[in-house]
Structure 1
Amino acid sequence: MTIQWFPGHMTKAKRTISEHLKLVDMVIELRDGRIPMSSANPLLQELIANKPRLIVFTKRDMADESVTKQWIAYFEKDGQTVIFIDSQKDNVKKILLENCLKVMDAKIQRDLRRGIHPRAIRAMIVGIPNVGKSTLINRLAKRKVVDVANRPGVTQSIKWLTVDKRLDVMDTPGILWPRFDDVKIGNRLALTSAIKEQILPIEQVVAFGLEYLLNHYPKILNERYGVSATEFDFDATIEMIGRKFGFIMAENEVDKRRTMAAFMADLRQDNLKSISWERPDEYL
């Protein structure tokens, strides 16, 4: 199933990024550490082309650390240097500066041999909506520069920030691609608030999320919702969750819509801790 969509502000964001790429030396691509592959935007790969790139995985604190270690091994085996960060706690300024200097080292050394004193590296930060760009920018600035919310589409304009005398970064709006050919990618993006949940049928997204939890995090599913099962049954699971939280309508029926909305709210509010929504063995 192909999901087609592309709001007007996405078209504008794509054009903005394309126009500003010529102003930067490299690109810092942010991906969500909970969905490392599903948050890789093929449209960005096309726009970035041959620009030097540093890939940074955000929200490490919200992911399953054991799965994150599997992802690190997966990317390193593929010859890629990857960085997983907790933007709230890590020294992100030091981490980004050191790694940007590594990425641009060949150019810096070439300029030095020519007697040219290197200027500050100019890096563009790109990524899908709600990947954590605003949080990262605010930490780098050590103050609130941009609004932060657990919903897509918060950053809507270009902003420059001097991180260090050796690094300037440009923040850009989050951008998605026009359509999702893999329904699993759409579901993961909805579960992590990269896209508005209204874009996909909520039953589809919730069913995908609950079945994934049953298969990989049954303890979380049981502790939060009282669900204990060996095989997934969507209606039975919604019934158990609805009754646990008292979402009962007339004639003792569970309010299905309210129950599904509560599950999605739990995800937005990070009430279900340390979940990685995809794993390396799915890509082997």
Structure 2
Amino acid sequence: MQFQWYPGHMTKAKRQMQEDIKLIDLVIELVDARIPLSSRNPDIDELGKNKARLIIMNKSDLSDENQNKEWAAYFKKMGCYVVGLDARTKAGMKTVTNVVMEACKEKIERDRRRGILNRPVRAMVVGIPNVGKSTFINSYAGKACAKTGNKPGVTKGKQWIRLNKNLELLDTPGILWPKFEDQMVGLRLALIGAIKDEILNIDELSLELIKVLTRDYAGILTDRYGVDETQTPVKILEQIAENRKCISKGNELDYSKAAALLIDEFRGGKLGKITLEWPQVQAE
């Protein structure tokens, strides 16, 4: 599968972020904890250099807990602060505030020395589509101040959100980078729903997911669907269709229905806590 997707509004968004970064003390970057590296936009490192950095590993309730710890250590080595959470709940938001203040301690102290006592920390919230930026902001602010949706591209323009006298957030549209150098990055993004399903081949996507799961999480598909994991991915998908009664008109097995079922259940966490890329593999 070849993955390319870069709508025009994302080019505009990137230019806007290059302007806005001058006003910012801290870059809060949301990544999907199931694919922490693949769900990062490498442009953010360039945009946010010389700024304090906080990485929010969102959807960490859906990812492998052991790998969450490994990834947190990986990002800390890069000089970033790290918080893992599920943005749909308010749990962990107090931790975010504490870490934000810790990350901006030098800036706050510098202001104090200059006699500036009430200037709030200004943080830009960034992330690729569908990592949960708007949901995070709404949970953090305690009100629906940013649009949310489970489809990529819901946040179209920037908006400032004042959380309290100490902190202001700048929401930005999700941006992907123009070209995936590594097609595995595109595959992982497609699996978590960061690329619109309408432009993907869900059947092929499900076969790639089966390959990953049988390699890294042996037994998960057997437990959920009663399949024989020693079979080929196509055969496993066929067994899922049989066992879940995915039948089309004419009493034929509906592979596409089985594929969509598998992808949906993975995204919804019904297969268990799964991380699709591991930091030690990335290091190698």
Given the two structures, how large is their TM-score scaled by the length of structure 1?
0.90
Cα deviation, 1:33-83, whole Å, max 9, x if unaligned, reads: 111111111122233333322122111111111221222343445665422
- Give the aligned partner of residue 275 of structure 1: 274
Matches of 1:108 and 1:77, distance apart in 2: 24
**CA contact under 8 A between 2:52 and 2:80: conserved in structure 1?**
no
Matches of 1:21 and 1:81, distance apart in 2: 18
- Give the aligned partner of residue 10 of structure 2: 10
Counterpart mapping for 1:126-145 below 5 A: 126-145=126-145
Which is worse superposed, 77-86 or 27-36? 77-86
- Give the aligned partner of residue 82 of structure 2: 82
- State the SS of the aligned residue for 2:40: coil
Q: Which amino acid aligns with 1:157?
A: G
Matched, 1:264 2:263: yes
Change (3 A) 1:163 1:250: closer
- Give the aligned partner of residue 121 of structure 2: 121
- Give the aligned partner of residue 243 of structure 1: 242
- Give the aligned partner of residue 205 of structure 2: 205
**CA contact under 8 A between 2:25 and 2:107: conserved in structure 1?**
no
**CA contact under 8 A between 2:38 and 2:188: conserved in structure 1?**
yes
Gaps of at least 5 residues in structure 1 are none
- Give the aligned partner of residue 99 of structure 1: 99
Gaps of at least 5 residues in structure 2 are none
Deviation at 1:264, TM superposition (A): 2.2
- State the SS of the aligned residue for 1:266: helix
Change (3 A) 1:167 1:75: same
- State the SS of the aligned residue for 2:273: coil
**CA contact under 8 A between 1:59 and 1:87: conserved in structure 2?**
yes
Matches of 2:258 and 2:91, distance apart in 1: 39
Change (3 A) 1:213 1:48: same
Matches of 2:77 and 2:10, distance apart in 1: 34
- State the SS of the aligned residue for 2:108: helix
**CA contact under 8 A between 2:43 and 2:177: conserved in structure 1?**
yes
**CA contact under 8 A between 1:93 and 1:163: conserved in structure 2?**
no
Matches of 2:188 and 2:155, distance apart in 1: 21
Which is worse superposed, 79-88 or 135-144? 79-88
Change (3 A) 1:31 1:226: same
Which is worse superposed, 198-207 or 173-182? 198-207
- Give the aligned partner of residue 216 of structure 2: 216
Matches of 1:169 and 1:81, distance apart in 2: 17
Given the two structures, how large is their TM-score scaled by the length of structure 2?
0.90
**CA contact under 8 A between 2:25 and 2:52: conserved in structure 1?**
yes
- State the SS of the aligned residue for 2:143: coil
**CA contact under 8 A between 1:2 and 1:179: conserved in structure 2?**
no
- Give the aligned partner of residue 254 of structure 1: 253
Which is worse superposed, 26-35 or 195-204? 195-204
**CA contact under 8 A between 2:81 and 2:99: conserved in structure 1?**
no
Change (3 A) 1:80 1:21: closer
Change (3 A) 1:212 1:267: same
Cα deviation, 1:252-271, whole Å, max 9, x if unaligned, reads: 53222222122222234443
Counterpart mapping for 1:12-51 below 5 A: 12-51=12-51
Matched, 1:225 2:225: yes
Matches of 1:249 and 1:200, distance apart in 2: 21
Change (3 A) 1:145 1:244: same
**CA contact under 8 A between 1:92 and 1:136: conserved in structure 2?**
no
Deviation at 1:14, TM superposition (A): 1.6
**CA contact under 8 A between 2:81 and 2:103: conserved in structure 1?**
no
Residues matched between the structures, number? 283
